[in-house]
């Protein structure tokens, strides 16, 4: 069932009011606003589920394409703002250490996910795919979640913050390769060939070659010309959005996630190419669009996805999944950060920030569900509740991460 325009506007009104209300409660409790927004989504999800008999469109909201597109703008503007705020030069300085953090933060939870799936899932023709799915699910990091938490804590510009963002972006790229393996396996029953993986890697490489050449050589010229010669109201903001949308389209065309394109556009929108006051004005307007509307809607929508059946049917597995997911990321990313020279406190900050899964996890779980990954064996309670368990893990890690990071940051 598709929501009509009036229903969408009403739902957005309810979401925004509730998300901002709980965000303010979180702030007064000295928690990041993200925590309140997700709690708002969880409560609205429960309420919408209870009302789905009277208002069927509420029960189908998570599958509505218009609503889904609106929530994706939350990711788009968060990544764009993060790029504008960070700038290419500062992020480049953190990239060397970030590679080790990213790789450690992927490999360790991936292995733990494989192990958990191998020893707990029943034998079936889909067991290999289910085991691989669990590994990928534990390895994912939600870039927008990490960025929003860092913004809330005023840690985005710190060395640790820059490493977290760099690592999360690298993780997102590695996740594309893992997702390609998973989706190909689900469709064909076998993993893609070396040629197929090489093609995907080539597309990713091509995206960054084009982006870097454009960002370093062409974008500065265009930015200076637009700011100097174009007198249209808010031309600077429109210019940045055009570039971000263009790179988002390019990213999707080359098999990547659109948020990488938005992030790169902001990253190369450099202060040196314009007056400092102009750059700050654009930055504040992008932040206002993101934090004032799209981000609260996006994070509330994550909370609305909560599915609790696994808590009732397979509680021990859910606990194990939450433990391995958290310990895998915290140690997998935190230990390389400590070895790279960060203090224990910053290493804990980095490891815990990488632990949030968010919407990316929900997308992967949805792909697996649509592909029928959880249908065999039919008699297995564990397999039939695997989707619910992964959704719980995604929302739990996203919800708990801001609280833990706040505690770590406040102990400085």
Detail the DSSP E strand segments found in 300-377: none
Q: How many Cα atoms sit within 13 Å of 130 on the Cβ side?
A: 26
Q: Who's near 181: CB < 8 A, 6+ residues apart?
A: 132, 136, 191, 192, 197
Residue 6 lies in a domain: no
Summarised one tens digit per residue, pLDDT across range 337-354 is 999 889 999 999 999 999
Q: Who's near 377: CB < 8 A, 6+ residues apart?
A: 122, 123, 124, 383
Residue 1 lies in a domain: no
Summarised one tens digit per residue, pLDDT across range 29-53 is 877 788 888 889 888 888 877 776 6
pTM of the model: 0.77
- Tell me the pLDDT of the chain averaged across its residues: 84
Residue 294 lies in a domain: yes
Question: What range does the domain containing 272 cover?
Answer: 11-410
Residue 373 lies in a domain: yes
Name the least confident of 227-236, 255-264, 402-411: 227-236
Number of domains making up the chain = 1
Summarised one tens digit per residue, pLDDT across range 285-326 is 999 999 899 989 988 888 887 878 888 899 999 999 999 999
Summarised one tens digit per residue, pLDDT across range 62-120 is 667 788 888 889 889 988 988 888 766 666 665 677 888 989 999 999 999 999 999 99
Q: How many residues does the chain have?
A: 412
Q: Furthest-apart CA pair in the chain: how many Å?
A: 68
Please compute the mean of the pLDDT values over residues 177-189 and round it to a whole number: 71
- Please give the pLDDT value at position 63: 67
CA–CA distance, 5 with 166 (Å, rounded to integer): 39
Summarised one tens digit per residue, pLDDT across range 149-167 is 788 888 888 888 888 888 8
- Please give the pLDDT value at position 107: 93
CA–CA distance, 88 with 26 (Å, rounded to integer): 32
Name the residue among 385, 410, 400 with its Cα closest to residue 326. 400
CA–CA distance, 129 with 188 (Å, rounded to integer): 11
Residue 2 lies in a domain: no
CA torsion angle 293 296 301 304 (round to 10): -140
Q: Which two tokens stand for residue 205?
A: 């490489």
Residue 3 lies in a domain: no
Burial classification of residue 221, based on how many CB atoms lie within 10 Å of its CB (0-12 exposed, 13-18 middle, 19 or more buried): exposed
Residue 333 lies in a domain: yes
Name the residue among 248, 260, 96 with its Cα closest to residue 162. 96
User: What is the domain-level CATH number for residue 227?
Assistant: 1.20.1530.20
- Please give the pLDDT value at position 187: 66
Residue 49 lies in a domain: yes
With a cut of 60, say whether residue 1 has pLDDT above it: no
With a cut of 80, say whether residue 137 has pLDDT above it: yes
């Amino acid at each position: 069932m598709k929501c009509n325009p009036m229903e969408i506007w009403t739902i957005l009104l309810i979401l925004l009011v509730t998300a901002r209300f709980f965000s303010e409660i979180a702030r007064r409790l000295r928690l990041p606003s993200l925590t309140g927004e997700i709690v708002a989504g969880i409560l609205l999800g429960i309420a919408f589920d209870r009302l789905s008999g009277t208002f069927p469109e509420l029960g189908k909201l998570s599958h509505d394409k218009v609503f889904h597109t609106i929530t994706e703008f939350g990711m788009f503007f968060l990544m764009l703002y993060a790029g504008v705020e960070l700038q290419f030069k500062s992020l480049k300085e953190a990239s060397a250490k970030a590679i080790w953090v990213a790789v450690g933060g992927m490999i360790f939870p991936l292995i733990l996910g494989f192990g958990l799936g191998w020893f707990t899932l029943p034998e079936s023709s889909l067991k290999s795919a289910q085991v691989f799915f669990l590994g990928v699910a534990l390895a994912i990091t939600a870039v927008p979640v990490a960025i929003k938490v860092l913004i809330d804590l005023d840690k985005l510009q710190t060395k640790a913050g820059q490493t977290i963002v760099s690592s999360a972006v690298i993780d997102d790229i590695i996740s594309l390769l893992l997702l390609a393996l998973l989706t190909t396996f689900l469709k064909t029953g076998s993993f893609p060939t070396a040629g197929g993986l090489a093609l995907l890697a080539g597309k990713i490489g091509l995206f960054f070659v084009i982006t870097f050449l454009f960002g370093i050589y062409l974008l500065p010229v265009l930015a200076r010309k637009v700011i100097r010669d174009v007198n249209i109201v808010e031309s600077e903001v429109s210019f940045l959005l055009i570039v971000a949308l263009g790179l988002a389209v390019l990213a999707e065309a080359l098999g990547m996630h659109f948020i990488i394109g938005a992030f790169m556009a902001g990253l190369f929108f450099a202060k040196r190419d314009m007056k400092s006051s102009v750059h700050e004005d654009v930055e504040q307007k992008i932040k206002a669009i993101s934090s004032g509307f799209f981000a609260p809607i996006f994070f509330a929508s994550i909370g609305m996805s909560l599915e609790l059946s696994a808590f009732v049917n397979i509680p021990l597995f859910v606990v194990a999944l939450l433990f391995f997911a958290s310990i895998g990321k915290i140690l997998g990313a935190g230990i390389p950060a400590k070895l790279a020279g960060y203090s224990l406190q910053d290493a804990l900050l980095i490891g815990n920030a990488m632990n949030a899964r968010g919407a990316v996890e929900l997308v992967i779980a949805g792909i697996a569900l649509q592909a029928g990954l959880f249908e065999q064996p039919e008699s297995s309670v564990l397999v039939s509740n695997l989707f619910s368990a992964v959704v719980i893990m995604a929302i739990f890690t996203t919800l708990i991460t801001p609280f833990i990071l706040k505690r770590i940051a406040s102990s400085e």
